[in-house]
Amino acid sequence: MKIGVPRETAEGENRVALVPESVKSLLKREGVAIVVESGAGDAAGHPDAQYEEAGASVGSHADVLAADLLLHVAPLSAAEIGELKKGQYLISHLSPLTDAESNKALASAGTTALAMELIPRTTRAQAMDALSSQATAAGYAATLRAAQESGRFWGMLTTAAGTIRPVRVLVLGAGVAGLQAVATAKRLGAIVTGFDIRRAAWEQIASLGGRPLELDFIPDAEDEGGYARPLTDEENQQVRDAIDQNAARQDVIITTAAIPGRAAPTLITAAGVANMGPGSVILDLAAETGGNCELTEPGQTVVKDGVKIVGPKNLASELPGHASQLYAKNLENLLGLMITGEGNLTLDFEDDIIDAATITHDGEIRGERTAR
């Protein structure tokens, strides 16, 4: 069985699906061969020679496309889906809950596609959970970017030329990315406040040294799956009003709030931006799914009322070395459920991880949420 690693073509994508260390480890399996497209790992710090040293062959785009299984990072473009051959396996981020056209195209191409976004958030699947590994990279990168954009020291400094007070940072949304942002901002010395509509997250913010913003007039919004449920219009309004007011006290706001499969909720309005002092920064990690700030422009940095609003689209890709290393490990662990002792690919739909992640097989779209 041959695994192919194509070069990523999405704009700004610096990650690669397999790093040489994972190549080495996958090649320990009987009957497995790996071909990596020349240059695929360059932006992540892995030149072709490292893959060859690890035992892979380095080939052309056509060589990689001939593989039985393709491993990808970014969702594929329509042109890339058009290159797949019938019966081929593909594992990648695929935006399965928001990109119906790709789901249909993958099914009609006869591809067996597994979407990394649909790996269940269970204890058993943790080592394959790319949403978490990449959110960790994104939360860290967001904080470093916000620090750089702020033009300030973040920690307190006492110098001969005067004392610098620490910056005040508010992190909105305290899932994996938000908690990493809280932790990273604390390490830089900031005074950090965090907010989430799931009450369980308040304790987690505190455990990292942040102060939870306890808006307790909102009932706990955690659903049975552990995710946030969408708020009612009235609840949303209450949250927005409270955050718009709190914004006046912050130098930096990092926003990470998301509801799976939906547009990001608006948490900071134009009025909230106007409440912040000139020179403040909003780093909107949710920019790609619409943004948590009303004035965010995805992929752009804009200045409104003297406040810099930064809307990066692919923050995990700003740490391509480690983000790729973690992603590759997630894939390696998932492949552990799919490669037989003889090196053949198999799909066991009795396995809840395989069942949840496989979105197309035998020309059909699978899974109720994906089909919807």
Which residues sit at the interface with ligand NAD, rule CB under 6 A?
A: 121-123, 126, 129, 131-132, 135, 172-178, 195-198, 201, 226-228, 231, 239, 256-260, 265, 267
Residue-wise DSSP of 158-214 = EETTEEEPPPEEEEE--SHHHHHHHHHHHHTT-EEEEE-SSTHHHHHHHHTT-EE--
219 C-beta neighbours (distance < 10 Å), count = 10
For ligand NAD, the closer CB: 64 or 276: 276
**Helix, strand, coil shares, percent, the chain, to 5:** 35, 20, 45
CB of 76 to ligand NAD, least distance (A): 22
Q: Which residues contact residue 143 at a Cβ distance below 8 angstroms, ignoring those fewer than 6 apart?
A: 180, 181, 184, 185, 188, 254, 283
For ligand NAD, the closer CB: 6 or 210: 210
In the chain the first and final C-alpha atoms are separated, in Å, by 33
CB of 315 to ligand NAD, least distance (A): 12
The DSSP call for residue 312 is -
**Residue nearest ligand NAD, CB atom distance:** 175
Residues classed as catalytic: 121, 126, 129, 132, 227
The DSSP call for residue 231 is P
CB of 178 to ligand NAD, least distance (A): 6
CB of 193 to ligand NAD, least distance (A): 12
Residue carrying structure tokens 């809950």: 97
For ligand NAD, the closer CB: 170 or 228: 228
